[in-house]
Structure 1
Amino acid sequence: MTDKQKLFVDEYLKCMNVTRAYKKVYKNVRSDSVARSAGNRLLSKPDVKAYKEQRVQEIHDENTADIQEVMEYLTAVMRGEQKDEVLTMDGDIELLRSNTKERNKAAELLAKSYGAFEKNVNLSIEVPVFTGESDLED
């Protein structure tokens, strides 16, 4: 796989537009229809497709919060450690602790993640089985 092909995939993942990405990397191509068909052909190649999938996974791993990060954030909000930027009447920006409503919501989400609100109901039902049913008259 060439460096230009890798660059094309990276550009494509930025804009999600085959034509624009192809024309940005392959500057000698001026026609939109040529860029679109060549870009689609390029994306269908196995090595380019594999590189694209690898890059998508890398981007996902870099940009997506894991469960620990979410739990830490919710805990910080619940404890009032998370500050919100608020615009004052003077036009200044002031940092304030999360309000009670936001803190309660964070506490609720944390509690739900620990299963605090689950209700375990165990039911035991016995279904009667009738024998000799064929002997009964209608």
Structure 2
Amino acid sequence: MNERQRRFADEFIKLGNATQAAINAGYSEKYAGANADKLLKNTKLRAYIDEQLSELHKSNIMDAEEALSILSDIARGKRDEEVLMMNPVSGKVERHTKKADNATVIKAVTEILKRYPTAKQSEKLELELAKLKEQLNIGKDEGDSITIVDSWGG
């Protein structure tokens, strides 16, 4: 892939418009109008574009650990919330920060608990697994195994 092709790919990622990306990369308007779609079919260019888009998505999308960290901070009162309030005297809107209220903390804790089964839920899963094994006639000594994937990612 040459430098102009790389510039085309980078411009295409930014704009989403192949013709304009080709023009911005230094191709003539005539060439860009007729051949921009061909540039996108170039396997090396396509692989580069796909790789760059994948990296952008990875850096922009929150993973589960980050989400749980934020929820934990909210539940522990470590994250302040910004609220807008009208000052009745001046008539101006003022920004204030406050700790999360109880409803917000409860929601955060509930979301965290959805991801971690309690002892009671674990017992229920074990009972369901035992019943399933019984229904499938899986004996303890038969050497058969079964894998159960639960909703918590286990």
TM (normalized to structure 2)? 0.68
CA distance in 2 between counterparts of 1:25 and 1:52 reads 14
Partner of 2:77: 80
Between Structure 1 and Structure 2, whose CA radius of gyration is higher? 1
Distance 1:9 1:89, change over 3 A: same
Q: 2:47 aligned to 47, 50, 63, which one?
A: 50
Partner of 1:4: 4
Partner of 1:92: 94
Distance 1:36 1:87, change over 3 A: farther
Partner of 1:136: none
State the one-letter code of the partner of 2:99: R
State the one-letter code of the partner of 1:113: R
How many residues were matched structurally? 124
SS at match of 1:92: strand
SS at match of 2:86: coil
Distance 1:46 1:27, change over 3 A: closer
Q: 2:117 aligned to 102, 107, 115, which one?
A: 115
CA distance in 1 between counterparts of 2:101 and 2:95 reads 17
Percent of residue pairs identical: 25
TM (normalized to structure 1)? 0.74
Partner of 2:64: 67
The Cα shift of 1:11 comes to 1.8
CA distance in 2 between counterparts of 1:100 and 1:40 reads 55
Instruction: Indicate the RMSD between aligned Cα atoms, in angstroms.
Output: 2.5
Superposed counterparts of 1:30-49, under 5 Å: 35-49=32-46
Superposed counterparts of 1:15-30, under 5 Å: 15-26=15-26, 28-29=28-29
CA distance in 1 between counterparts of 2:44 and 2:19 reads 20
CA distance in 2 between counterparts of 1:14 and 1:56 reads 10
CA distance in 1 between counterparts of 2:55 and 2:72 reads 27
